[in-house]
C-alpha cells in the first residue's frame, strides 16, 4: 500500500467483500457501477455468501389490480388481469421501533416485460434471494425463477401435468442441505369431482425440477391431498398442510436432497372440525402454524424441529364479541416474519398487513399498499441465475433504469416508511 496515496483498492479481496456486504442493498448496487473490479466482486460466490448471511428480512409483494387468490372457476380464470408491481419491503428493527421501508427504487413493473403481460403471477416460494413465480390463467401454466435484486429471471420448461379446469397446483421451492441443489417441487391435484367443492382430487402427481438441468422429472403418485398454498422451506424440506381427515398427521414434508415425501409431526388439536383455516410459515427459524376458528386465532411454534411434543402455543387471541373488528379471523392469515421482541408480521389474503404486538397481546392492521396484493418472506441476495448452467437467463424490462440494474422512479421521491412503536403508547 502506498503511504502517499492509499486506496481502498489496496485491500485484500476478501476484506473488500466483507466491507461491501455490510452495506444496504441499494448502496451495493451503486458500488457495482464504480468499476469493473467491484462489479465482479459483488458477483463472486464469496461475496454472495457473506451478504446473504447479513441479508435483512423483508416482504416481497406482488401488487395486483384486483383479488389475486386463484379460483377453480373457469370464468375467473379467463378474465384478464394484470400482474401488477413487484415490490420489496424491508423490515428494519431499530431503536425499539419497527420500520417498514418501501423504497420505490426497489419496484418492478412486470407489465413492462412481455412474458408477464396480461396474466396472473403468484409467488410460490423463496429461498436465498430467489423467488419462484407461477403464471396462470388464460391457458397459461408456467413456472419462473426470478432474482428481483439482479432483475434476472428464467422460464422453466413445460411440465407433464398442467392446470386445466378444476385443478389445484401445489408448489415448493428449496435448496438441498447436502447437495446444495435448488429444486422446485410441483404437485398436480386434478380430476376433482364437480361437487362438493371440498371433494378430494382423484389425480395427485408430483414433479421436480432441479435448476441447471433443463427438465422436469416425474416423481409419481402423492398419497395425501394437500392445501393448495405453497409450502414453506426449512431444514432442507418443504412443508404443507394435509387435508385428508383420516391422516394420522396433518403435515407433509418433502426432503429436497432425497426427493422423498413423509408425514410430519403436526400440532396437537382436540377438535379439528372447529378449525376453519390454517397456514404454515417460518418464524425466527422455527416451523410455525396458524389455526383460526370462529372465536380464536392461534400461532403454534415447533421449538425442536421434527419433535411433536415441542409444538408450543406462542400466540392465542380470542375474538372480542363487543368489538367485531377482528375481520381478519374470517380468512387465511399467512405468517411472514418474527422479530426478536416477538413482533410478528402477517399478511391477510389479498391485501392486508397484520402485526402482532406482544406487549398488547393484540393484532393490528397497518397500512402498506393499496388493496389486492400477495406477499412472502424474502431476504435479498446477489445470487446470479447465470450460476445455473443449461438455463436461459432473461432480464426484467424497465422503462427507467439505474445503472446496476434497478428501476428508477421518475422525479425525486423519498422512500415510504411505516413505523410501529413497540411500547405501551401504541
Q: Residues 232, 107: one domain?
A: yes
Is residue 336 within 8 Å of residue 342, measured between CB atoms? no
pLDDT tier for residue 72 given thresholds of 50, 70 and 90: very low
- Residue 219: CATH number of its domain: 2.120.10.30
pLDDT tier for residue 75 given thresholds of 50, 70 and 90: very low
Compute the mean pLDDT over every residue in the chain, rounded to the nearest whole number: 79
Q: Residues 206, 165: one domain?
A: yes
User: What is residue 406's predicted lDDT score, i.e. its pLDDT?
Assistant: 41
More confident site: 166 or 342: 342
Residue 425 lies in a domain: no
Q: Residues 141, 248: one domain?
A: yes
Q: Residues 45, 60: one domain?
A: no
Q: Where are the alpha helices (DSSP H) in 3-62?
A: 13-20, 25-31, 36-43, 45-54
pLDDT of 424 > 80? The answer is no
Specify the range with the lowest mean pLDDT, choosing from 43-52, 86-95, 138-147, 315-324.
315-324
User: What is residue 405's predicted lDDT score, i.e. its pLDDT?
Assistant: 41
- d(C-alpha 79, C-alpha 137), whole Å: 8
User: What is residue 53's predicted lDDT score, i.e. its pLDDT?
Assistant: 92
Residue 307 lies in a domain: yes
- Stretch 333-359: mean pLDDT, rounded? 85
User: What is residue 109's predicted lDDT score, i.e. its pLDDT?
Assistant: 72
User: Which range among 72-81, 95-104, 160-169, 188-197 has the greatest average pLDDT?
Assistant: 160-169
Q: Residues 103, 43: one domain?
A: no
pLDDT tier for residue 351 given thresholds of 50, 70 and 90: low
User: What is residue 89's predicted lDDT score, i.e. its pLDDT?
Assistant: 83
**Please, which residues have CB within 8 angstroms of residue 301's CB and are 6 or more apart in sequence?**
283, 286, 287, 288, 311, 312, 314
Q: Residues 318-333: pLDDT tens digits?
A: 876 445 455 556 678 8
Q: Residues 172, 308: one domain?
A: yes
Determine what percent of the chain is predicted with pLDDT higher than 90.
37
Q: Residues 91, 44: one domain?
A: no
Q: Residues 33, 96: one domain?
A: no
Q: Residues 334, 389: one domain?
A: yes
- Stretch 90-94: mean pLDDT, rounded? 72
**Please, which residues have CB within 8 angstroms of residue 383's CB and are 6 or more apart in sequence?**
48, 52, 128, 129, 130, 147, 150
Residue 186 lies in a domain: yes
- Stretch 233-260: mean pLDDT, rounded? 95
- Stretch 128-153: mean pLDDT, rounded? 89
Residue 188 lies in a domain: yes
Q: Residues 247-297: pLDDT tens digits?
A: 999 999 999 999 999 999 999 976 667 777 899 999 999 999 999 887 888
Is residue 69 within 8 Å of residue 378, measured between CB atoms? no
- d(C-alpha 180, C-alpha 174), whole Å: 9
Residue 72 lies in a domain: no
pLDDT of 131 > 70? The answer is yes
Query: Residue 151 sits in which domain range?
Result: 55-66+81-395
Is residue 142 within 8 Å of residue 156, measured between CB atoms? yes
Is residue 183 within 8 Å of residue 256, measured between CB atoms? yes
pTM, whole model, 2 decimals? 0.84
Q: Residues 195-230: pLDDT tens digits?
A: 555 677 788 899 999 999 999 999 999 999 999 888
Q: Residues 20, 165: one domain?
A: no
In the three-class reduction of DSSP (H, G, I as helix; E, B as strand; rest coil), residue 418 is classed as: strand
- Stretch 373-378: mean pLDDT, rounded? 87
For residue 37, give Cα distances in angstroms to 7, 13, 237, 268, 386: 14, 10, 37, 55, 18
Residue 417 lies in a domain: no
Q: Residues 165, 48: one domain?
A: no
**Please, which residues have CB within 8 angstroms of residue 273's CB and are 6 or more apart in sequence?**
none
Q: Residues 102-114: pLDDT tens digits?
A: 655 567 777 667 7
Q: Residues 50, 85: one domain?
A: no
Total structural domains within the chain: 2
Residue 410 lies in a domain: no
Q: Residues 18-68: pLDDT tens digits?
A: 888 888 888 888 888 778 888 888 888 998 999 999 888 888 888 765 544
Residue 424 lies in a domain: no
Specify the range with the lowest mean pLDDT, choosing from 116-120, 132-136, 140-144.
116-120
Amino acid at each position: 500500500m502506498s503511504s502517499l496515496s492509499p486506496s481502498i483498492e489496496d485491500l485484500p479481496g476478501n476484506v473488500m467483500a466483507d466491507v461491501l456486504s455490510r452495506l444496504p442493498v441499494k448502496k451495493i448496487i451503486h458500488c457495482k457501477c464504480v468499476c469493473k473490479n467491484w462489479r465482479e466482486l459483488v458477483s463472486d460466490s464469496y461475496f454472495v455468501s457473506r451478504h446473504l448471511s447479513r441479508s435483512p428480512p423483508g416482504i416481497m409483494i406482488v401488487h395486483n389490480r384486483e383479488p389475486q387468490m386463484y379460483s377453480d372457476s373457469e370464468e375467473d380464470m379467463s378474465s384478464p388481469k394484470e400482474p401488477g408491481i413487484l415490490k420489496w419491503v424491508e423490515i428494519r428493527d431499530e431503536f425499539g421501533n419497527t420500520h417498514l421501508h418501501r423504497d420505490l427504487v426497489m419496484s418492478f413493473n412486470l407489465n413492462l416485460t412481455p412474458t408477464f403481460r396480461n396474466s396472473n403471477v403468484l409467488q410460490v416460494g423463496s429461498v436465498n434471494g430467489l423467488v419462484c413465480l407461477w403464471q396462470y390463467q388464460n391457458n397459461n401454466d408456467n413456472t419462473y425463477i426470478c432474482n428481483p435484486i439482479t432483475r434476472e429471471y428464467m422460464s422453466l420448461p413445460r411440465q407433464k401435468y398442467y392446470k386445466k379446469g378444476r385443478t389445484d397446483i401445489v408448489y415448493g421451492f428449496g435448496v438441498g442441505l447436502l447437495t446444495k441443489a435448488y429444486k422446485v417441487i410441483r404437485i398436480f391435484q386434478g380430476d376433482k369431482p364437480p361437487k362438493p367443492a371440498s371433494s378430494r382430487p382423484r389425480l395427485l402427481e408430483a414433479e421436480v425440477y432441479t435448476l441447471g438441468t433443463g427438465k422436469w422429472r416425474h416423481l409419481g403418485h402423492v398419497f395425501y391431498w394437500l392445501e393448495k398454498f405453497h409450502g414453506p422451506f426449512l431444514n432442507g424440506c418443504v412443508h404443507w398442510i394435509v387435508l385428508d381427515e383420516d391422516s394420522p398427521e396433518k403435515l407433509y414434508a418433502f426432503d429436497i436432497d432425497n426427493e422423498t415425501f413423509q408425514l410430519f409431526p403436526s400440532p396437537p388439536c382436540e377438535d379439528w372440525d372447529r378449525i376453519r383455516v390454517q397456514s404454515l410459515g417460518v418464524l425466527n427459524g422455527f416451523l410455525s402454524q396458524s389455526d383460526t376458528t370462529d372465536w380464536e386465532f392461534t400461532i403454534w411454534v415447533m421449538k425442536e424441529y421434527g419433535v411433536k411434543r415441542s409444538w408450543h402455543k406462542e400466540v392465542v387471541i380470542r375474538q372480542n364479541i363487543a368489538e367485531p373488528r377482528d375481520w381478519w379471523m374470517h380468512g387465511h392469515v399467512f405468517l411472514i416474519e418474527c422479530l426478536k421482541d416477538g413482533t410478528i408480521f402477517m399478511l391477510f389474503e389479498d391485501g392486508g398487513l397484520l402485526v402482532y404486538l406482544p406487549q398488547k397481546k393484540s393484532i393490528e392492521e397497518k397500512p402498506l399498499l393499496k388493496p389486492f396484493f400477495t406477499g412472502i418472506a424474502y431476504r435479498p441476495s446477489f445470487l446470479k441465475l447465470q450460476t445455473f448452467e443449461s438455463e436461459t437467463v432473461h432480464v426484467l424490462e424497465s422503462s427507467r433504469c439505474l445503472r446496476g440494474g434497478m428501476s428508477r422512479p421518475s422525479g425525486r421521491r423519498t422512500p415510504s416508511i411505516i413505523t410501529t412503536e413497540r411500547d405501551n403508547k401504541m
